[in-house]
């Protein structure tokens, strides 16, 4: 870690080296390490230390971007010079208005760094991976999994006076436990490694694997489904990516285009974005240094707010909402999504289902058609038939092809216990009709 | 610089207790331009430097990397890698065995006629704006709300890397890549249709000089894809049912990638991606006997073929580029392997497919150029020979299960085939199948004249994530009795 002072000094240098009218400098870096498990042994175990400077230079309405990870004076000078050179060559961008000026608001106090996580080194990661392996081995199963730990920092400055710095930590853990034909999954993520119970994850995955042995084939068709949070999260990701995709939204190709204030999802679906909530993966500001705050996206199914960074806000005649993301040419995106929990447990959902399917999670979901957000994907790591309000038994994995919008318009029950899924905090859902279009042999 | 960094790193690793160590030092510059609707959306330049030290200590792997190229950092990182290996050894059942490789001192360079970095940025921008303009200049139909939007892209990069190992290898490589594409998006309030050239997902890429980009002639194809995107708005929907299916060579590249390229990665077979991308149905017992496809299906992995995104001199373990038979006349023969996976199936040597996407990532088993060998059909003859079928062109979306059996792929455009001729255009075409059944139903493969080596620059695998650049040679091919028009 470079630290606040060192990072600020690098940003100042970059802005000084630039002769552009407006300059923004962003430094993203840190240490990350990841331990992977396969067949009950650690087979990959890596660590890296990196920090990357990205400079955006603006002459009038001409923009250039360059980045590099050589942070010597010479390296910083080269990156700034390349950004300026590109900006000069570039054409006028008539949509560009300005880089953001300081808002005057203080950055929110956000708990996004944990010393315990930063100190969670190779030996501790191996011990945690050992918990997954031991639990699986004692059941006669095989565990795979990964345990990623990151201690990073983000610093942002621009020539209009924005200056922001924040360190952060993240832990992401997952395990898949397998036997001949069955598989079970558990995953978690947090700022503080102490918020994760590796033993509980191991037990969950082993139990799921045990429950999914001797799966039966089930014919494709429309079923009621109880989706665990991971499966809801995978669907939601597409609803967000397509809906808030700036270009689609402006061109009328997003289901949110011209729908501000109108109902687009079921009235029991409320979703907001909140970069300051410690239950997600919080950050006090976005990648332009604009303070984060809670923003309602869908209130009882009604589309309430579009998200913006400074560029897309300028284009739309709006104000930035603090949703700049670190990828050029993409627009703004909600990155800290929360779904309002309901009152039902997964057991309640199962009890209320006459005939349906319980899904642990999806695999390889992809967009088929953006209009109604039709996606396809497979179930994996625990798929079960529900009959007469009870889990009857495991079924082989199935392919679905389903409109996410239609699914989120027939949500019958919303779970009471949301799960942390990295970018989103999501409960389970029971959905009235879900279309399975194929099956596989395991 | 290397003298101060690289050998000392290996020495430090050995002093700390490593039985084996290698170091890769990589420098790379990548530049790109994106143009949309008559305006430049982004021009960016990204440079990267760094090194990664990989060690075996106590029989287990450790890896550490840094972007700070200084002697103290190299010592720290080498010791860190050994410490990580010792932690790995706490959860281990047997020591890692490496297939032997002859340590060489050698240099490899992508053959380049025109250096992409020497071409003026202004000329590149003009080329894209012209292609973009020609897309949107197509006359829109009667419908008031119809939009037609052009997009065009260029990417080019240069990577210099050096590999040293405690076994004595010292290999320097310079890989140059470039490519681009143009796309048309037509939309009404109700739907969006897209056509791309030469391929979907930002175009076509190669290890080559700028002469490759010029050969793509993006502007020449722009009017056609603009017209086709508009035509799709008025086209019939792809019918649902079972029919003969002809895939163009770009969609074949995707079909090979997902249903052959990934399942033959030997690390997947042994579960290394089980908690992430999944495993493989091609288990070791199937090797040499399993009928993967029909007799028309011959697939090779060839890192020596000029121009592919999977073309290099040596992989990132210092193993020379090779050509390996994967499927011969439909029978599954070989895997893509690395030095630590080859011995698990009794292979004496690695097939040279361990690749890392940067200095900060470990080499893992990756595709090189996984190619469907040409057959003896022209596309015209294939169509003439089809009574009832559909031709699908250019990938739109893809999904496949975690053992690579059940897939569902969508293409940008389709055409019905009736009595040996192409008929009406079809929108939203997609198809689904089970890998060995699908390839088993392959009854015609296009000949050399239809065959192209496509570049796939977006293959995701591994944790932390690695997005690799791989190649697929393919010509059009026909499959009998395929389920199309799923989930309308
Ligand atoms: Zn891939």
pLDDT per residue as tens, chain A (442 positions): 999 999 999 999 999 999 999 999 999 999 999 999 999 999 999 999 999 999 999 999 999 999 999 999 999 999 999 999 999 999 999 989 999 999 999 999 998 999 999 999 999 999 999 999 999 999 999 999 999 999 999 999 999 999 999 999 999 999 999 998 789 999 999 999 999 999 999 999 999 999 999 999 999 999 999 999 999 999 999 999 999 999 899 988 899 999 999 999 999 999 999 999 988 889 999 999 999 999 999 999 999 999 999 999 999 999 999 999 987 566 899 999 999 999 999 999 999 999 999 999 999 999 998 999 999 999 999 999 999 999 999 999 999 999 999 999 999 999 999 999 988 999 999 999 999 999 888 8
Find the closest chain B residue to A131 by CA distance.
B91
Q: Is residue B63 part of a domain?
A: yes
Q: Is residue B78 part of a domain?
A: yes
A126 touching chain B per CB within 8 A: yes
Record: contact B398-A366, CB cut-off 8 A? yes
Residues A306 and A398 in one domain: yes
Residues B283 and B372 in one domain: yes
Residues B225 and B246 in one domain: no
Q: Is residue A276 part of a domain?
A: yes
Picking from B204, B220, B236, the residue at the C-terminal end of a domain is B236
A130 touching chain B per CB within 8 A: yes
Q: Is residue B36 part of a domain?
A: no
Task: Please report residues of B whose CB lies closer than 8 A to that of A438.
Answer: 406, 408, 432, 486
Residues A229 and A171 in one domain: no
What's the confidence (pLDDT) of residue B364?
A: 98
Q: Is residue A91 part of a domain?
A: yes
Residues A373 and A426 in one domain: yes
Find the closest chain B residue to A173 by CA distance.
B275
Residues A19 and A99 in one domain: yes
Q: Is residue A18 part of a domain?
A: yes
Q: Quote the CA–CA distance of B231 and B187 in Å, as a whole number.
A: 11
Q: Which helix (H) or strand (E) holds A185?
A: strand A183-190
Residues B320 and B402 in one domain: yes
Q: Is residue B450 part of a domain?
A: yes
Q: Is residue B469 part of a domain?
A: yes
Picking from B104, B126, B145, the residue at the C-terminal end of a domain is B104
What's the confidence (pLDDT) of residue A61?
A: 95
Q: Is residue A300 part of a domain?
A: yes
Domains of chain B: total: 3
Q: Is residue B38 part of a domain?
A: no
Residues A168 and A236 in one domain: no
Residues B265 and B316 in one domain: yes
DSSP letter for A291, please. Answer: B
Residues A189 and A220 in one domain: no
What's the confidence (pLDDT) of residue A329?
A: 62
Residues A167 and A256 in one domain: no
Task: Please report residues of A whose CB lies closer than 8 A to that of B75.
Answer: none
Record: contact A36-B272, CB cut-off 8 A? yes
Q: Is residue A19 part of a domain?
A: yes
- From the CA of B396, how many Å to the nearest CA of chain A? 8
What's the confidence (pLDDT) of residue B142?
A: 63
Record: contact B401-A369, CB cut-off 8 A? no
Residues B207 and B356 in one domain: no
Residues B443 and B479 in one domain: yes
Q: How far is the CA of A415 from the centre of ligand 1 (A)?
A: 34
Residues A142 and A177 in one domain: yes
Residues A219 and A199 in one domain: no
Q: Is residue A209 part of a domain?
A: no
Query: Are A291 and A105 in contact, with CB atoms under 8 Å apart?
Result: yes
Record: contact B45-A67, CB cut-off 8 A? yes
Residues B113 and B84 in one domain: no
Picking from A204, A223, A244, the residue at the C-terminal end of a domain is A204
Residues B284 and B402 in one domain: yes
Q: What is the CATH number for B22?
A: 3.30.2290.10
What's the confidence (pLDDT) of residue A441?
A: 80
- Give every residue of chain B whose pLDDT is below 70, as ranges: 1, 141-144, 488
Query: Are A150 and A31 in contact, with CB atoms under 8 Å apart?
Result: yes
Q: How far is the CA of A107 from the centre of ligand 1 (A)?
A: 40
Q: Is residue A235 part of a domain?
A: yes
Residue B148 sits in which domain range?
108-164+175-236
Pairing of strands B20-36, B147-165: antiparallel
- From the CA of A368, how many Å to the nearest CA of chain B? 6
Residues B63 and B203 in one domain: no
Q: What is the CATH number for A78?
A: 3.30.2290.10
Point out the residue among B52, B77, B83 whose CB comes nearest to the CB of A122.
B83
Q: Is residue A210 part of a domain?
A: no
Helix (H), strand (E) counts: chain A: 10, 19
Residue A385 sits in which domain range?
215-442
Picking from A204, A224, A239, the residue at the C-terminal end of a domain is A204
Domains of chain A: total: 2
In total, the C-beta contacts within 8 angstroms joining chain A to chain B are 258
Query: Best of A368, A381, A398, A434 to disrupt the B interface by mutation (most B CBs within 10 Å)?
Result: A368
The first and second tokens of residue B475, run together, are 């010509």
Residues B200 and B297 in one domain: no
Residues A262 and A195 in one domain: no
Record: contact B399-A44, CB cut-off 8 A? no
The ipTM assigned to this model is 0.95
What's the confidence (pLDDT) of residue A423?
A: 85
Residues A242 and A391 in one domain: yes
Q: Quote the CA–CA distance of B194 and A369 in Å, as a whole number.
A: 11
Q: How far is the CA of B178 from the centre of ligand 1 (A)?
A: 19
Q: Quote the CA–CA distance of B120 and B43 in Å, as a whole number.
A: 13
The 3-state DSSP class for residue A272 equals: strand
Residues B294 and B212 in one domain: no
Q: Is residue B40 part of a domain?
A: no
Picking from A177, A204, A231, the residue at the C-terminal end of a domain is A204
What's the confidence (pLDDT) of residue A331?
A: 83
Residues B58 and B144 in one domain: no
Query: Are B318 and B348 in contact, with CB atoms under 8 Å apart?
Result: no
Residues A250 and A132 in one domain: no
Picking from B191, B208, B236, the residue at the C-terminal end of a domain is B236
Q: What is the 3-state secondary structure (H, E, C) of chain B?
A: CHHHHHHHHHHHHHHCCCCEEEEEEEEEEEEEEEEECCEEEEEEEEEEEEEEEEEEECCEEEEEEECCCCHHHHHHHHHHHHHHHHHHCCCCCCCCCCCCCCCCEEEEECCCCCCHHHCCHHHHHHHHHHHHHHHHCCCCCCCCCCEEEEEEEEEEEEEEEEEEECCCCEEEEEEEEEEEEEEEEEECCCCEEEEEECCCCCCEEEECCHHHHHHHCHHHHHHHHHHHHHHHHCCEECCCEEEEEEECHHHHHHHHHHHHHCCCEHHHHCCCCCCCCCCCCCCHHHCCCCECCCCCCCEEEECCCCCCCCCCCECCCCCECCEEEEEECCEECCCECCCCCHHHHCCCCCCCCEECCCCCCCCEECCCEEEECCCCECHHHHHHCCCEEEEEEEEEEEEECCCCCEEEEEEEEEEEEECCEEEEEEECCEEEEEHHHHHHCEEEEECHHHCEEEEEEEEEECCCCEEEEEEEEECCEEEEEEEECCCC
Pairing of strands A62-68, B39-57: parallel
**What does the pLDDT look like over A257-275, one tens digit per residue?**
999 999 999 999 999 999 9
What's the confidence (pLDDT) of residue A279?
A: 87
Task: Please report residues of A whose CB lies closer than 8 A to that of B65.
Answer: 46-50
Q: Quote the CA–CA distance of A371 and B356 in Å, as a whole number.
A: 37
């Amino acid at each position: 870690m470079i630290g606040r002072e060192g990072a600020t000094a690098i940003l100042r240098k970059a802005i000084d080296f630039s002769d552009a009218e407006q300059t923004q400098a962003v430094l993203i870096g840190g240490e990350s390490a990841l331990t992977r498990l396969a067949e009950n042994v650690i087979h990959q175990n890596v660590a890296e230390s990196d920090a990357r400077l990205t400079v955006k230079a603006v002459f009038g309405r001409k923009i250039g971007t360059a980045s590099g990870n050589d942070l010597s004076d010479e390296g910083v000078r080269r990156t700034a010079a390349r950004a300026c050179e590109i900006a000069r060559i570039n054409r006028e961008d008539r949509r560009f208005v300005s880089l953001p000026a300081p808002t005057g608001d203080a950055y929110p106090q956000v708990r996004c760094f944990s010393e315990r996580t930063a100190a969670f080194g190779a030996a501790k990661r191996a011990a945690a991976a050992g918990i997954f392996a031991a639990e699986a081995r004692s059941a006669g199963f095989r565990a795979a999994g990964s345990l990623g730990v990151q201690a990073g920092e983000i610093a942002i400055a621009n020539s209009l006076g924005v200056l922001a710095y924040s360190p952060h930590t993240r832990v992401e853990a997952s395990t898949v436990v397998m036997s001949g034909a069955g598989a079970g999954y558990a995953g978690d993520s947090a700022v503080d490694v102490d918020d994760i119970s590796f033993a509980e994850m191991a037990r969950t995955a082993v139990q799921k694997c045990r429950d999914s042995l001797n799966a039966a084939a089930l014919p494709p068709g429309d079923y009621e489904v109880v989706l665990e949070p991971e499966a809801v999260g995978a669907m939601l990701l597409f609803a967000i990516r397509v809906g808030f995709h700036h270009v689609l939204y402006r061109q009328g190709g997003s289901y949110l285009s011209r729908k501000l204030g109108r109902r687009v999802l079921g009235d029991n679906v409320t979703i907001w974005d909140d970069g300051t909530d410690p239950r997600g993966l919080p950050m006090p500001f976005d990648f332009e240094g604009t303070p984060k705050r809670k923003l309602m996206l869908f209130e009882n199914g009604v589309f309430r707010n579009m998200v913006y960074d400074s560029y897309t806000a300028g284009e739309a005649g709006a104000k930035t909402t603090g949703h700049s993301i670190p990828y050029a040419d993409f627009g703004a995106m909600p990155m800290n999504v929360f779904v309002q929990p309901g009152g039902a447990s997964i057991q309640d959902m199962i009890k209320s289902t006459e005939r349906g399917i319980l899904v642990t999670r999806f695999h390889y979901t992809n967009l088929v058609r953006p209009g109604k957000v039709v996606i396809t994907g497979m179930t994996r790591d625990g798929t079960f038939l529900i009959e007469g309000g009870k889990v009857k038994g495991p079924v082989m994995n199935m392919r679905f092809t389903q409109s996410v919008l239609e699914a989120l318009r027939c949500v019958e029950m919303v779970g009471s216990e949301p799960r942390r899924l990295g970018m989103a905090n999501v409960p389970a859902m029971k959905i009235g009709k879900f279309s399975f279009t194929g099956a596989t042999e395991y | 610089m290397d003298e101060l960094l690289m050998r000392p790193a290996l020495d430090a690793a050995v002093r700390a207790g490593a039985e084996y160590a290698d170091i890769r030092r990589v420098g790379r510059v990548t530049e790109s331009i994106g143009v949309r609707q008559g305006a430049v959306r982004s021009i960016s330049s990204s440079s990267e430097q760094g090194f990664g030290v990989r060690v075996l200590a106590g029989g287990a792997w450790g890896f550490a990397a840094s972007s700070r190229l200084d002697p103290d950092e190299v010592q720290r990182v080498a010791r860190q890698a050994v410490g990580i290996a010792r932690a790995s050894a706490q959860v281990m059942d047997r020591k890692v065995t490496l297939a032997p490789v002859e340590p060489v001192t050698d240099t490899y360079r992508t053959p380049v006629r025109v250096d992409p970095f020497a071409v003026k940025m202004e000329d590149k921008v003009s080329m894209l704006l012209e292609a973009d303009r020609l897309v949107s200049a197509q006359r829109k139909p009667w419908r008031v709300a119809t939009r037609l939007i052009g997009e065009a892209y260029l990417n080019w990069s240069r990577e210099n890397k050096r590999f040293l190992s405690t076994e004595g290898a010292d290999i320097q490589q310079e890989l140059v890549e470039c490519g681009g594409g143009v796309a048309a998006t037509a939309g009404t309030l109700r739907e969006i249709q897209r056509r791309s050239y030469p391929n979907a997902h930002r175009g076509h890429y190669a290890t080559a000089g700028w002469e490759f980009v010029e050969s793509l002639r993006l502007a020449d194809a722009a009017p056609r894809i603009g017209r086709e995107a508009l035509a799709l708005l008025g086209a019939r929907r792809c019918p649902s049912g079972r029919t003969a299916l002809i895939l163009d060579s770009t969609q074949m590249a995707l079909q090979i990638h997902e249903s052959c390229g990934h399942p033959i990665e030997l690390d997947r077979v042994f579960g290394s991606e089980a908690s992430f991308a999944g495993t493989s149905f091609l288990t070791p017992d199937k090797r040499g006997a399993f009928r993967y496809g029909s007799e028309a299906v011959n697939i090779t992995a060839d890192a020596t073929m000029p121009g592919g995104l999977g073309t290099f001199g040596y992989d990132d373990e210092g193993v020379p580029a090779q050509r390996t038979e994967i499927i011969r006349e439909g029978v599954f023969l070989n895997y893509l392997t690395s030095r630590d996976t080859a011995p698990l199936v009794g292979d004496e040597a690695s097939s040279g497919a361990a690749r890392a996407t940067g200095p900060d990532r470990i080499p893992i088993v990756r595709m090189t150029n996984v190619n469907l060998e040409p057959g003896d059909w022209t596309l015209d003859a294939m169509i003439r020979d089809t009574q009832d079928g559909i031709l699908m062109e250019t990938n739109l979306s893809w999904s496949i299960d975690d053992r690579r059996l059940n897939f569902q792929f969508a293409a940008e455009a389709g055409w019905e085939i009736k009595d040996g001729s192409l008929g009406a255009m079809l929108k939203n075409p997609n198809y689904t199948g089970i890998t060995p059944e699908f390839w088993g139903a392959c009854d015609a493969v296009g000949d050399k004249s239809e065959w192209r080596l496509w570049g796939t620059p977006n293959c995701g695998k591994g944790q932390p994530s690695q997005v690799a650049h791989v190649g697929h040679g393919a010509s059009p091919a026909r499959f009998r009795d395929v389920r199309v028009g799923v989930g309308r």
